[in-house]
Structure 1
Amino acid sequence: MNSSSEVVWAVVPIKSFAQAKTRLSSVLPPEDRQRLACAMADDVLSAIGASGKADVLCILTDHGSPAVDELARRHGALALLDLQVASVPGLNAAITGVANLAHSKGADTVLVIHSDLPLLNANTLDLIMQKRDTLQGPKRAVLARSKDGGTSVLLVNQASSFGYRFGADSYASHRAECRRLEYTVASIEQLSTSLDIDTPDDFELLRLAAQAGRCGPRTTALMTALCPYVSMHAMEPAL
């Protein structure tokens, strides 16, 4: 846990595994896409636990399922449906709802981490906290940019007052929100936070990373099992 009196809620949004990673349909059948999404989420949750940086771990999902319930049980996480914490649909409303819930429990710092970061590890989370500790002022934020301009990790205090902007080009939108609210900001540029898995090209990078031993154990084990299948189906470059 954190050495200071600060209480941190880590929030991992997880979309329904049944609809997961549809852009990988040219290289993986539906069952394997579900298995991959679950394995990556499992490793992200393990990295958060290993870092000791979260006092409360929360899985935020749009659709309850036995697989999500099992992840929550094994990682000691609180599982919440989007509509349990927000009256309107959408990820940003749901994260705001979790931030409000955290505030009601005495916690004002929220760490949002996407579930498809197979290279994430405890050292990266240590770096994020160290970056935050170098910042001055009452309102501080650390952002990690994904390869497509999204925000893969966001750490903010006074979290219930922050305007979340996840979606297309969210990194730039979050930076603008920080300027509007006068946050001091740090960014990190790490492969472990920039590589999220959406496209066949990403999947090839994931295969190479797994072969190099850079992924979490669940993802590595699954990729080892999938590689014979993948090698029989040459992946075409993205158009």
Structure 2
Amino acid sequence: MSSGSTIGINCPGLSCSQPSLSADGRYVAQVATFNRPPSRQRIEVRDWRTDTTETVAEFDHTVSARPSISGDGRFVAYQDGQAEDVFVWDRTDDTSSGPIEGPSKAATLVQLSKDGSKVVYLSGSDTYVHDESSGTDQLVPNVRGVAIDPTGRYLLYAPHDTNGPSLTLRDLETGTDEIVSNQLASAGTDAVSAGGRDVVFHSTADDIVPGDTNGKSDVFIRRFY
């Protein structure tokens, strides 16, 4: 039997989806969709302790627009799916930076690092890591970014080349790579622990660890030190 409680966060629209939770569990960024003409959606941050909601952005369309909130709830990265741009909103200063976009003038948000310093996004066949303080982008070519560690230093990515590893961890400061899985595997955001020590992923492969005989998809943790 589990302990604790479940708290409902009321949705102001037809539906709410794509939640992103701050590290302390206080703030939830989500997408609220409204169907009253014209159909629209907005990105908002809910503080469940004070029972208040702040609007981050509102769009007159319902094309995919997902949020990613920093660990302290101060910063929210989000994408405008129709314009294919990414922005970062600072809740403390009430300011928005962006658009963040690649050379192809299109960007798909992957994740904001928990410290709010880096934004990972996809553009074309490449992955970019945007540094919020300098405004510069670091290119990681021909890969699909999957997740970034809370400090913004370690990027988990999936190479497009299926003949090699399925998941790799890159130290963005040194440019060195560590193989996470040679077998077919996948992972979600928040898959990398602080400092890149641990990576959690799932796979149907039965030869990643000894004795895997259940024939089902399992969850694994790769530890590097």
TM-score > 0.5, shorter chain as reference? no
Q: TM-score, normalised by structure 2?
A: 0.28
Q: TM-score, normalised by structure 1?
A: 0.27
Higher percent of residues as strand: 2
- RCO higher in 1 or 2 (8 Å CA, sep ≥ 6)? 1
Larger Rg computed on CA atoms:
2
Higher percent of residues as helix: 1
